[in-house]
Structure 1
Amino acid sequence: MTTEATLPATSASPTARQVWTRTRGIALALVLLLAGAVAIALLRSDARHGELDPRSADPGGSRAVAELLADRGVDTRVVTTLDEAAAATGEDTTLLVAVPDLLTRSQQKRLHKAFADSGNRTVLVAPGSPSVERLAPGVTAAPATSLDAALAPDCSLPAARRAGTAETGGRRYTTTHLGADACYPSQRLATLLRLPADQGNGDTVVLGAPAILLNDRLDEQGNASLALQLLGSRPHLVWYLPSLSDASATADDERGFFDLLPSGWLWGTFQLFFAAALAAMWRARRLGPLVPEKLPVAIRASETAEGRARLYRKADARDRAADALRSTTRTRLAPLVGVPVTQAQTPEALLPALSSHLHGDGQDLHALLFGPPPSDDAALVALADRLDALEREVRRP
């Protein structure tokens, strides 16, 4: 009397706990990265709220200088579109462009054309290159210095001499205009340029830093005096705050794909490629031929069988599964009925020996061992049961 031992079921699929243990580090890193991105976005949005806006009382706003100008009879009008800025130009108007670099190339050309013949004063706040070259032809921007640098005027411009030291340290400029006033030099380059009026055109002031216009910097040095003189020379002030939502930003925009990329993108891409190559070389454990190694663990046969069965089921390969079951059964039955193993896969050699041993119907044996693949999973399970029953019957004494 024998008792069949039942092996515990094994599964190659990881449990939910194992999946969580393996992926919790990656999930935590993604959560921290997302939280950091949200925090940075909120901080940046708060920091830029009302920046250079004459209606804002925030530290980065410019309401204080607008109020001082109003006390001196200068009215301030805020515009956010290019059409409004172009329509507001006039001989008794000062046009201030808060962030010229936000304008597209076509907007800059159109704005320059609009105020070139207006006779007004134009003040450009910290324009970069090539923005300043389009808005003030003949002026070239140099790399910026400290934004909080207080500098002496060192020029003959009356407004600068009366204001004295002011915090204009920022972007620096050079010009080819012979009659230009180059004030507040930093490393021998001007941080404030005034291009004189020419043939009825108004003058242009290029300011290297916005510090003299900010609420929290207006009372430092001669900032207030310089700001009031630059912006209060005419009774009307148009304060242009460029907006990305301006419809003219997308009209006739000549910028291509590479113009939209930040400067230095090519060098940055090369650095990333070089770093990836170094990482690949670091991860390559050997550069010579492969060396066979012993497996650290032995895999149980039941796990291998179950894993292959899962692959067959995922691929819906009942034909291959049935061929594997029948081939293995024929190989095991051949020695039991006196047929060489080399002829186990031949029906002419195996079936007569099986029929004589079992005294059964040869057609049923042929369909069982060499028949067509099952049509569904239930037929495959039935085939496996019949093959198992046949092998037990042959092995029976």
Structure 2
Amino acid sequence: MTSTAPAPAVDRAPSGIVSPSSLAPTGRSLWRRARWYLLAVAFLLLGAVVVAGLSQEHRYPPLDPRSYDQDGAHAVIALLEQRGVTTSLTTDATGRPTGADTLVIPEPDLLSAAELRAVAAARHTRLVLVAPGPAALSALAPGIRPADEHPASSYASVRSTAPQCSLAEATRAGSAHLGGQLYTSGSRGEGCYPHNHGFSLVSTRTQGGDVIVLGSGDLLQNQLLAKDGNASLALGLLGSQPHLTWHLPDYGSPIAENTHRKNPTDYIPAGWRWATLQLAIAAALAALWRGRRLGPVISENLPVVVRAAETTEGRARLYHRAKARGRAAQALRRATAHRLAPALGVPLRAGAADPDALCAAVADRLAARPAADVRALLYGPDPTDDAALLRLADDLDALERQVRKP
């Protein structure tokens, strides 16, 4: 009675495990490649969160008396209050004054026609307008016009300028930072701080009181108030009355939306432009650094090991599919001649044996087989069908066995 031994168990790799010779990326290799990129993305996200948190602080528009920024006007309000001037903020320009006061309108062009008429009828003791347009000048400062006679010189850059006029506040302050829109003084007004063909400060007298027109409000900003005579001129223009009312523009009004229509680029903070430039330079430097580095020579594992028999079978299938019987026959004959030549002592020249010498040597080894039959077998015509190709392969194999074992 015979017993059959159990077949040895064959270890099969689990379907999810990659063989050592595979080139499939592993989790460890993926982590090594991606960790620096993930770290960079984490830093960018952290920076975005910090910037978003810092941008939550309230930003005031320029010349806002509540703003401590460089373009704000809180410093001049603080100086006026130190000198006993009471200040108040309002968003209603049509309210009538409670007494002798000064009204400052930093954006007169944002007022509607009805609001301009109401301000003109309110009869403020002093009215200060910052860069008004033609409509505001016609309603609040008759006789004063923009210096449009010379369009190239109707606007001047803000710089330290001498007053060159007899206005008491200007002569007491001396040089100040004036510029911006330029105006003509008219017959009843007096122009100060001249630039080319216009003035950056014009004062005039109306039925309601004094009107001061400034081409630019930069001298009232926190960053310029301490330079030259800016503080003295600001206190003289705004502090002549015991009470000051500062109008806060309504930037949500239809006039403001039409006047200050923003482009998509206006919503991009200025700091992000510099950050984008720095990132572009860093990317270019990284590309140059990585582009010049070839790196060390590394060895790679073959994806799969293919046996020689499979390669031969694969080539045979290609020949069969293309019906290349002649190419297949030439390959078989060439391989047989290349193996027979060293066995018979026939030298190889340029990788091939001389046909006549090889056929003569085979005929000498096999006395029963003439040289003509050997030449027909090794160098004869191509087979015409698959059966003839198979017979040729068998005949070549038999010839090689006979030569090696006659």
The structure with more radius of gyration: 2
TM-score (norm 2): 0.45
